[in-house]
Amino acid sequence: MKLYAPVLLLAVATVAPDQRFFLYDRTVDTTPAVAGQSCFSLDADTFTHASPRLNDLRLYRDNVETPYVINVAAPTQVAASSIGFLNLGLHGKQVTFDAAMPEGRYSDLTLGTTAQNFIATVTVFGSHAATGDLGTKLGSYTIFDLTSQKLGRSTIIHLPESDFRHLHFEIAGPLTPDQITNATIDKLPASQPKYQPVASSSDVLTKGHTSVFVLTIPAHVPVDRLVFTPGSIPEMFSRDVQVEVQPTPSIPRSDDSEPPSPIIATGNLLRVHRKEDGHQIDEDRLTIAAPAVDFAGPSTWTINIENGDDVPLETSVRLEMFQRDLCLRQRATRTTHCSMATPRFRLLFTTTPRCFLGNLKRSKPTKVRSDAIRFIESVLT
């Protein structure tokens, strides 16, 4: 998990601004408090009212500022490893080869092939030593290219989590050794990612052959992936998706003004569950990585699903962010307060390992003198 300690760790000795200058507060109430590290998740509403990257978040215990860190439940980025083939050739009617695997645990393996319009079965065996024996059978997996049927392509072999150093492959189907080009493996991250909802919509517009979703995301709220939940129709599909993100204009643009260029990400949605020529195909791909954006204000997300001449895809979409947990070292006590140090923001809460975030509420307005604002700005800088 990623740690944002360099940005968000606050020293107790730092002079804290007066809490009267904050406008919003939130209370987290659980009992009993337990000594040790305590964590709780920050929801999208917190990011909406905070400054970028939560730079104005302040934590208080009995009106004394307390240090904390924010953990992001994102997978550690590990570069895919390329796998070399050994003994690639034909054994009877099957393409066979061996591969030396990198150290560590792995799961999904992507097989590169130039073949088109095919269905094949890949049987995989694993062993810890190159003894010549096949070793442990990991399973049989279907790879396919059904682009001629508008059902996409998948050459991903979903292996069980493994750490075998040697794998043996047997491919039954209309492939030849010269059509097998490469293979890559993604090592498993130390921890699996966790997500929290940001926004969702089932209101889809149809524009020609395109299904369109439009969502507005408040400023500073991160979005890390898009999750689609299709209905039963169509039963099987492959759809290309384009995501466009641009700042939401605060005032209507004039006719002669040009909107800023959107930030674009693309992906493909796939669902195939069928048995064809004796091969069972079960493949779902219903998530797309979100483009990285960092706008000062709200952003408009336009999601275009290209249906072509096929039946429009019935689906809803959910935008999610990686779970972000605020953690602190806590002594056994009842209450801990947190505030956001700008003249705009104040956040109060009680912290324990398992807690409930109450609704955000606006505090009573407080007259802020100019010298008080200068004091807060001096603390932040």
CATH code of the domain covering residue 139: 2.60.120.260
The rounded mean pLDDT for the chain is 80
> Are 149 and 252 part of one and the same domain?
no
> Are 67 and 85 part of one and the same domain?
no
pLDDT at position 67: 81
pLDDT at position 31: 43
**How far is Cα 313 from Cα 210, in angstroms, rounded to an integer?**
9
> Are 316 and 328 part of one and the same domain?
no
> Are 155 and 201 part of one and the same domain?
no
Sort residue 117 into left (φ over 0), alpha (ψ -120 to 50) or beta.
left
pLDDT at position 254: 59
Matching residue, tokens 């979409």: 317
> Are 313 and 372 part of one and the same domain?
no
Nearest Cα neighbor of 339 from 326, 352, 325 is 326
> Are 201 and 314 part of one and the same domain?
yes
In this prediction, residues 224-244 reach a mean pLDDT of 96
Domain count, the chain: 3
> Are 204 and 124 part of one and the same domain?
no
Peptide bond into 234 cis (omega under 30): yes
> Are 291 and 228 part of one and the same domain?
yes
**Confidence grade of residue 294 (pLDDT, cut at 50, 70, 90):** confident
Q: Sign (positive/negative) of CA torsion 188, 192, 193, 197?
A: positive
pLDDT at position 18: 65
Distances (CA, A) of 279 to 92, 144, 173, 305: 20, 10, 10, 29
Hey, what amino acid is at 127?
Answer: S
| pLDDT score of 63 more than 90 | no
CATH code of the domain covering residue 210: 2.60.120
Is the CB of residue 289 less than 8 Å from the CB of residue 267?
yes
Higher pLDDT, 78 or 284: 284
Point out the least confidently predicted range of 76-90, 122-136, 276-290, 332-346: 332-346
pLDDT at position 27: 62
Whole-number percent of the chain with pLDDT over 90: 53
Residue 139 CB neighbours (<10 A): 12
| pLDDT score of 224 more than 60 | yes
| pLDDT score of 344 more than 50 | no
Give tens-digit pLDDT for 92-127.
999 999 999 998 889 899 999 999 999 999 999 999
| pLDDT score of 13 more than 70 | no
> Are 209 and 117 part of one and the same domain?
no
Q: Sign (positive/negative) of CA torsion 180, 98, 169, 187?
A: negative
> Are 289 and 173 part of one and the same domain?
no
pTM for the whole structure:
0.77
Give tens-digit pLDDT for 311-340.
999 999 999 999 999 887 766 554 455 555
Give tens-digit pLDDT for 367-381.
333 333 333 333 334
Give tens-digit pLDDT for 38-57.
788 898 988 888 878 887 77
| pLDDT score of 285 more than 90 | yes
> Are 201 and 296 part of one and the same domain?
yes
Nearest Cα neighbor of 337 from 346, 328, 349 is 349
> Are 317 and 330 part of one and the same domain?
no
pLDDT at position 2: 44
Sort residue 107 into left (φ over 0), alpha (ψ -120 to 50) or beta.
alpha
In this prediction, residues 257-263 reach a mean pLDDT of 80
Domain boundary at 304, 322, 340, which?
322
For 121, the domain range is: 81-187
The alpha carbon of 139 is separated from its chain's Cα centroid by a whole number of angstroms, namely 28
